[in-house]
């Protein structure tokens, strides 16, 4: 049965195999730190990398050139775009 996340608790539990914990403890001793600091430092670095990759769009050179061309030479609006623009609420000045 899955456990519910407790939002007001800053603790986190992990279940790992003995050999995985032994490897972490060896790394911790080599870095002269504690397990919490070691795991948190490396987990946060990995999390930031994942978030940055998700937040950035990677385009090929061809696609990048296409986007730049469309920005400089936008196509004329079609019926759907004109209808969507007319459906927008009027802005107050």
Query: What is the per-residue pLDDT for 5?
Result: 59
Q: Could you tell me the residue ranges of all domains in the chain?
A: 18-87
Give the C-alpha separation, 16 to 3, whole Å: 17
Query: What is the per-residue pLDDT for 58?
Result: 86
Q: How confident is the model at residue 90 (pLDDT cuts 50, 70, 90)?
A: confident
Percent of the chain with pLDDT over 90: 78
Q: Are 26 and 18 in contact (CB under 8 A)?
A: no
Give the model confidence (pLDDT) of 2-38 as tens digits.
Answer: 566 556 678 888 899 999 999 999 999 999 999 999 9
Give the model confidence (pLDDT) of 43-76 as tens digits.
Answer: 999 999 999 999 998 899 999 999 999 999 999 9
Query: What is the per-residue pLDDT for 8?
Result: 67
Q: Is 32 helix (H, G, I), strand (E, B) or coil?
A: coil
Degrees (nearest 5) of the Cα angle 39, 6, 2? 85
């Amino acid at each position: 049965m899955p456990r519910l996340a407790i939002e007001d608790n800053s603790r986190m539990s992990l279940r790992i195999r003995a050999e995985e914990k032994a490897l972490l403890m060896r790394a911790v001793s080599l870095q002269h730190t504690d397990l919490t600091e070691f795991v948190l430092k490396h987990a946060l670095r990995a999390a930031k990398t994942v978030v940055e990759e998700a937040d950035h769009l990677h385009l090929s050179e061809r696609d990048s050139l296409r986007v730049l061309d469309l920005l400089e030479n936008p196509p004329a609006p079609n019926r759907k775009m004109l209808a969507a623009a007319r459906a927008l609420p009027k802005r107050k000045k």
